[in-house]
Structures are given as C-alpha cells and as structure tokens.
Amino acid sequence: MIDRATVDRIYEAAKIVEVVSDFVTLRKRGVNYIGCCPFHNEKTPSFSVSPTKDIFKCFGCGKAGNAVTFVMEHESMSYVDALRYLAKKYHIEIQEKELTPEEIAHHTDRESMLVLNSYAQKYFSTILQQHVEGKNIGLSYFKERGFREDTIQKFQLGYALEERDAFTKEALKNGYKKEYLVKTGLTIEGEKDYLADRFRGRVLFPIHGLSGKVLGFGGRVLKTDAKTAKYLNSPASEIYDKSNELYGIYFAKQSIVRTDCCYLVEGYTDVISMHQAGIENVVASSGTSLTVGQIRLIRRFTPNITVIYDGDAAGIKASIRGIDLLLEEGMNVKVLLLPDGEDPDSFARKQDSSEFIQYINENQTDFIGFKTKLLLEEAGKDPVKRALLIADIVKSIAVIPDNIMRSVYISECSKTLDIQEEILYAEINKHSKSKFGNGFSQRKEAVSQLYESERKAMFEQRQAAVVPQSDLSQKTDMEMSALQIIRLLVRYGGNVLFENSNEATSEMEKYTVADYIVTELENDALSFENPLHQQMLSETKQFAGQEWHAENYFKNHVDIRISSIAVNMIAEPHQLSKMHQKDHQFEPEEKRLIQLVPRVILEYKNKVISIKEKNILLAFKAAQDAKNQEEMNRLDAEYCQLIEIRKILAKELGDRIVLK
C-alpha cells in the first residue's frame, strides 16, 4: 500500500491535461480542453478536460473523474496501480507500506498476470543477453537483422530456450503460481502435472499495451527445419485480446499525435526497423486482419493512416478487404507500395528517416485511387470484369461516412474509370437502398455492438464501482433534495458557516457547513437513503469545528464512487440550485451560504415529511379496508403529529423566503 502523504503528493503533481493527453488527443477550447471521448464511440468531441478544476467530464456518456480515476478506467487498473503509474510519470518515489494478507488477496487475477508477464519479459531478456544459447542464437539473429543494442533494450526483446520447461521451472522457483503461468499462456499444462513452456527456441517480442505493460508475447522460431509455425503468440486471456491491441502502439502514440498520422505495417520487425530508422509513428496489426477495435485505437490519436505494403503485390488483394473497415470508421486512408522485393523492414534499413518519409510522401496514394488502379490493371478490357470492378469500388465508396469525402472520391473515380458521375451516384444509391439499406445500418450496429461488448468486458470491473450518472429527471424528489445537500457538502463543506462564542470558555467556536448539516440531520434522526451520501456525511465529522478543503477531500477520495459523485458536483456547479439562484444572480453562492444551507436542509426535511405523509395515507387506506380500527387510530394520531411538524417547517421555510 501507498501511504497517504505520497498519495497526496501524486494528486498534487498529476496534471489532468497531461495525464489524459497520453491517451487522447486534446485541443484547447477556452479555458478547457476537448477531445473525442475514449469511453464511448463518438466522432465529434464532447469530452472536456478542465485544468483549473483538475477533472474530466464527458458530456456524451457522462463519465467524469480526476487524473487517478481516468487512468483506472482507461487502463482498467486498480486504484493502487493507477497511483503507481502516475508516480512513475511524475518521478515521485513511493513509500510502500507492508501489504496485509487481505490486501494481497485483493490483488486481482489481472494484476497477478501482469506482474508475471513483467517477470517473464525480464527473464527472457536476460536469457537473450547472458545465456550461451540466447546469445548464439537469439542475439546473433537480432544483430544480423541490424538491430542496435538500444533498440533491443527499448523493445525488451528476449529469447526462450529450447529446453522443455526452463522458464516454468524458474518462475515456480521464484514463487509465481502455476495458476497464472497457465492463465497467461506462458505455460502449457498437460496431464499428470506435465508442464511445458509455450515458447521454446524462439526469439520473443513482448506486446505492450497503451500504458507500456506487457500483455503478451509474440515468438518467432529461428530453425528453418522447424515443424512448428513460424510465429507463435500468447493466447487470448483476461489481459490480452489481440483484436484490441496493436504492436508498437505504446512506443508510437506520442509520435502519432505529433505527426497526426499513423503508419500501419504487418510485422514486429517492420515496426522495430522503422523505429530504429527514426520513424516512430508506426504500428503493426501482427498478421491478423484489422479489427474495429484496432482501428479505434488508432483513431484516438489521429484520423490519418497510411497502410504500407510490401513490394510484392501478392498479399495486397486479400488485405484490401480489411481497408473498407477503415473507410467505414471515417479514417483518411492512404496506401504506400514499396519498391519490388522490399518490405518495411528491409527498406528502413537502407534509408534514413528523412529519405524514407520523403519516399512515403511522394508515393502514397489515396486508397480508393489505389484500389481502382489495381483492379483496373487486372480487369483490362474485359467488360464483365470491369463491371464487377466498378461495383467493388462503389461498395468501398458507399461506406465512407462523410458526404464531402464521398463526392470527392466519386468525381475522381469517374475520371479514372471513364464513367459519368451520375451513374456512380446511382450505383451508390442502389447500394444504400438494397444491400446497405437495412443491411448497412445493421452491420454498423453489429460492429458497434461488438466494440461495445469488448469495451464492456474491459471496463466491467471499473464500471461496477462507478455510480452511473443517471438522468436527473428520473430521480425522485427526495433524491434530488438529498443531492442538493451533498452538493453543498462537496463544494462548501469545510467553509465556516458562522462563529459562536462558547459560554463556558468564552472562546469563539467555528461551525462549518458540514458541522451544520450533520447536527441538523442528527437532531431529527434523519439519514440519506444512498449509503454513499451517508458515508460522505459521516466522514466530515473528523473535521468538526475546523476549516478544511471539502472539494479536494471528496474529489480525491480513495473510494472512486465517492470521487465520482464529487466530480459530477464540481463539473456541474449550478444544475441543482437554479431555483435558489434566480433571486441572487449577482451574489456568488458562497457568500450566501448562511441562507442557502439552512434552506436546503429544511426543504429536505419537508420532502421526508411528504413521503411519510404519503405512506401513512396508504397504510390508513389498507387499515380501513381491513377494518382495523386500532391501526386506523394509531395512524390518525401519527398523521396529526406530522401535520404539526409540517406547519412548523412551512413557517420556517416561509420565514426564510421572506428573510432572503
């Protein structure tokens, strides 16, 4: 565990704009920053970050929080891991407390798997650098490929020995559990306690997630006569879902933002060689065809993508299908064909970055044009083939969501294909009516549902802990009224409401807003329905009689559900008190707490009474139906009492109204 002083230092150091910028492209607008929300799918930004309040809030999906909760949600990290992540980012040394057994038990599977992967990465790197077999086979292979030592270190490359269970044995010896060895896929379990390493006699490429943690490994076998597959990956697990990851994204993200462009290549070594040549905005889909999850990962940083193909055009036609998906997601797609016989790896080794980038800029073409040319060459003059080709191109254009871009492509294709624009338009409309009519929107829906379910799985854990921001109109009167008190507690809880002289000591005593609320509610034996609200109230008692910073206390609360409530209160300061504001438009709220706080409490009490009244009336009717005279009498008496209280409250409230 991390001690409170360190936690406070981390909160102080973590600048929300800097933290969010590592994952989302932000643009300044007024005093705030805006970007596309990473928590729901959107194309127009509604995700707002406030550097002055140190919070974020999405006006699309309602997600809100501080720097720590952002990292927790975005990276599905635990609270402690998010703090560690930020401590590392801001070079804050962490004073760790000894873990209690309960805390250790609390470590989730996910964390245990990540810890194991990190250990495995270090183990394999050490083997590569120090073991005879690692040096002779693995390291010499990387050196042959021209990888420099700093590149090998940066990408944390490693080597797995030929031996059946060298790694598994070592990991078990070091206290790592078999359960996680199997869950991460590093170890394969057979019958009768048979355990074997998944990766044997392979060089290893750790696959890093956005925050730099090792999620899995890709292994390449070096023996040419090997009977196994050339490449072998970690299996899908709780921490590794290859359809949502891109190789190199951790090392590329900043450069992608800076250059506003992302290069997409096929293999690990393509990424590494280009990096080494000085081109860092490059990622690989690792052999799988592109998925929506991967595309959206890129789109968080840029809408511009250039797909780089090997010189030999064999695989191009197959992969072209995947690119329609990029267009459909509204990306600007360009394509680059390398000279014959070259792949990004070999080509990068022959040039420096400026030559390579110059080549890219001079030779990249837009995807539709590229596809048209490619298919045109193939079709030749064959009219049937040409007709099929036009249908194919039209299909690609039809999925582009942006009208203007679509019309630009249509006009270009009309020239290349020598067909009137009207005919192409008619063809596209046909698609939108027949195949794409329902089909298209259904497909879109299916795609976004797929995405949603991936997301859901990822964030389920976090979301369970976050109070959903429900529609205010759906809240009951009572909740609304309670929320007004909570809002005052969060914003002004530590402000002094008034001072009184103590008769015994004749010293002045401070009463804060929180003190007042606590006393008022306790005197009438009232509590909040929502246990979190009640907890917030109880916690303020520790500050009784002293000034304190309530906003910071709640915003940075250890319980992220409470932090989330507070952030929402801070993000929408006046939503709940419009009624009270009308007459005091020119006086800031904190100047009239002495009127506001008692009034809001009276209103709450009034609501409680109303509900009691309603319940008594219902019970009375039931008693009447049951002809239970005794019960009817009892309820009647209770009701009269209630009416009396109501009168007093109404008078007080009325007085307040006159007073203000």
* Radius of gyration, CA atoms only, the chain: 32
Name the segment binding Zn ion (CB under 5 A); options: 59-67, 294-302, 508-516, 546-554.
Answer: 59-67
How many whole angstroms separate alpha carbon 536 and alpha carbon 485?
11
Residue found by looking up tokens 């991390």 in the block? 2
CB of 43 to Zn ion, least distance (A): 12
CB of 36 to Zn ion, least distance (A): 9
Instruction: Tell me: does residue 37 bind Zn ion (CB under 5 A).
Output: yes
Q: Which is nearer to Zn ion, 58 or 413 (CB)?
A: 58
* Cα angle 367-369-371, degrees, rounded to a multiple of 5: 65
How many whole angstroms separate alpha carbon 319 and alpha carbon 161?
34
Name the segment binding Zn ion (CB under 5 A); options: 32-40, 195-203, 349-357, 598-606.
Answer: 32-40
Structure-block tokens of residue 259: 């250059």
Using CB under 5 A, pick the residue from 58, 336, 410, 600 that binds Zn ion.
58
Name the segment binding Zn ion (CB under 5 A); options: 54-62, 124-132, 193-201, 405-413.
Answer: 54-62
CA of 432: how far to CAs of 398, 401, 445, 630, in Å? 7, 12, 15, 72
User: Minimal CA–CA distance to 313: which of 396, 382, 377?
Assistant: 377
CB of 201 to Zn ion, least distance (A): 46
Q: Quick check: 463 and 553 in contact, CB under 8 A?
A: no
CB neighbours of residue 26 within 10 Å? 22
Total site size for Zn ion, rule CB under 5 A = 6
Name the segment binding Zn ion (CB under 5 A); options: 31-39, 579-587, 600-608, 629-637.
Answer: 31-39
Q: Which is nearer to Zn ion, 58 or 71 (CB)?
A: 58
How many whole angstroms separate alpha carbon 329 and alpha carbon 405?
13
Name the segment binding Zn ion (CB under 5 A); options: 55-63, 294-302, 356-364, 525-533.
Answer: 55-63
Name the segment binding Zn ion (CB under 5 A); options: 52-60, 437-445, 572-580, 591-599.
Answer: 52-60
CB of 563 to Zn ion, least distance (A): 17
- How many Å is the maximal CA-CA distance in the chain? 106
CB of 56 to Zn ion, least distance (A): 10
Q: Which of residues 342-381 bind Zn ion (CB under 5 A)?
A: none
Give the type of residue at 576.
L
Q: Using a CB cutoff of 8 Å and minimum separation of 24, what contacts does 294-298 make?
A: 294/243, 294/244, 294/245, 294/246, 295/325, 295/326, 295/329, 295/331, 296/41, 296/329, 296/451, 297/210, 297/244, 297/245, 297/246, 297/249, 298/246, 298/256, 298/262, 298/264, 298/331
Instruction: Tell me: does residue 40 bind Zn ion (CB under 5 A).
Output: yes
CB of 37 to Zn ion, least distance (A): 3
**Measured between alpha carbons, how far apart are the two ends of the chain, in Å?**
50
Coil, strand, or helix at residue 242?
A: helix
Name the segment binding Zn ion (CB under 5 A); options: 35-43, 174-182, 207-215, 317-325.
Answer: 35-43
Name the segment binding Zn ion (CB under 5 A); options: 50-58, 148-156, 216-224, 498-506.
Answer: 50-58
CB neighbour list of residue 433: distance below 8 Å, 6 or more residues apart: none
CB of 547 to Zn ion, least distance (A): 36
Q: Quick check: 342 and 310 in contact, CB under 8 A?
A: yes
CB of 41 to Zn ion, least distance (A): 9
Q: Which run of H or E residues covers position 65?
A: strand 64-65
Coil, strand, or helix at residue 91?
A: coil
Using CB under 5 A, pick the residue from 13, 22, 32, 60 that binds Zn ion.
60
Q: Which is nearer to Zn ion, 39 or 268 (CB)?
A: 39
Q: Quick check: 486 and 561 in contact, CB under 8 A?
A: no
Name the segment binding Zn ion (CB under 5 A); options: 37-45, 86-94, 354-362, 608-616.
Answer: 37-45
Q: Which is nearer to Zn ion, 453 or 546 (CB)?
A: 453
Using CB under 5 A, pick the residue from 1, 13, 17, 61 that binds Zn ion.
61
Structure-block tokens of residue 118: 């990190």
Q: Which of residues 251-310 bind Zn ion (CB under 5 A)?
A: none
CB of 65 to Zn ion, least distance (A): 12
Q: Which is nearer to Zn ion, 40 or 154 (CB)?
A: 40
CB of 308 to Zn ion, least distance (A): 32
Q: Are strands 332-337 and 304-309 parallel, antiparallel or unpaired?
A: parallel
Residue found by looking up tokens 């409230």 in the block? 653
Instruction: Tell me: does residue 110 bind Zn ion (CB under 5 A).
Output: no
Q: Which run of H or E residues covers position 555?
A: helix 550-555
CB of 27 to Zn ion, least distance (A): 16
Q: Which is nearer to Zn ion, 40 or 122 (CB)?
A: 40
CB of 16 to Zn ion, least distance (A): 16
Instruction: Tell me: does residue 459 bind Zn ion (CB under 5 A).
Output: no
Q: Which is nearer to Zn ion, 469 or 527 (CB)?
A: 469
Instruction: Tell me: does residue 448 bind Zn ion (CB under 5 A).
Output: no
Q: Which is nearer to Zn ion, 73 or 603 (CB)?
A: 73
Structure-block tokens of residue 373: 């040319």
Residue found by looking up tokens 């921001």 in the block? 469
CB of 17 to Zn ion, least distance (A): 17
- Residues forming contacts to Zn ion in the complex (CB under 5 A) are 37, 39-40, 58, 60-61
